[in-house]
Amino acid sequence: MIARRSFITGLIGLSFIHPALANGDEYYRFNALNPKALGSQVIFAGMVKDTAGAHIPDAKVTIGLNVNTFYGEKFVSFNAYTNLAGRYRALDVASVVSALEEVTVDVDPAKVQLSISKDGYTLVRKLNRSRRGQKAGVFEVDFTLEKMKP
């Protein structure tokens, strides 16, 4: 009986080995589709709120850039959507472009275009919280939207 209780206590203790990361570390973990690109990822993430500070779920954030393809220059874009807490996180830009267009591209974060859309809302402010001169990693860009008046 004591051995069984010790075994169960050990299992419960093991469940706490992987800590819950309240600082968002798991949320911002790199997730390249191409494992070779780990050192040079460009990932956009952030929050979308209204002017009163309420989170806006299911807003569409479009990430795009001009890319030289085999058929000439082309604007390539993909979307990320906010969750219930108003947070979004996109995949690595170079990995997505590589998967969509089958070309390798070095992404200049300054040339990436971000836009947002949500039915019934207009953009009031776009705030780039990233470090100046940052060339890789997570780029935090927050949006503030306002409800359109009928």
Can you give the residue ranges of every domain in the chain? Answer: 24-147
pLDDT computed for residue 69 by the predictor: 85
pLDDT tens, N- to C-terminus, the chain (150 residues): 555 555 455 545 444 444 444 444 444 444 545 555 555 689 999 999 999 999 999 999 999 999 998 889 999 999 999 999 999 999 889 888 888 888 888 899 999 999 999 999 999 999 999 888 888 888 999 999 999 987
> How distant, in Å, are the alpha carbons of 36, 65, 87, 141 from that of 123?
36, 20, 16, 13
94 burial level (CB within 10 Å; 0-12, 13-18, 19+): buried
pLDDT value at residue 131: 86
Give the pLDDT of residue 135.
Answer: 87
| CATH architecture of the domain covering 24-147 | Sandwich (2.60)
pLDDT of amino acid 8: 52
Which pLDDT score is estimated for 20? 43
- How many CA atoms are closer than 13 Å to the CA of 85, on its beta-carbon side? 8
For residue 9, the model assigns a pLDDT of 52
Which pTM was predicted? Answer: 0.74
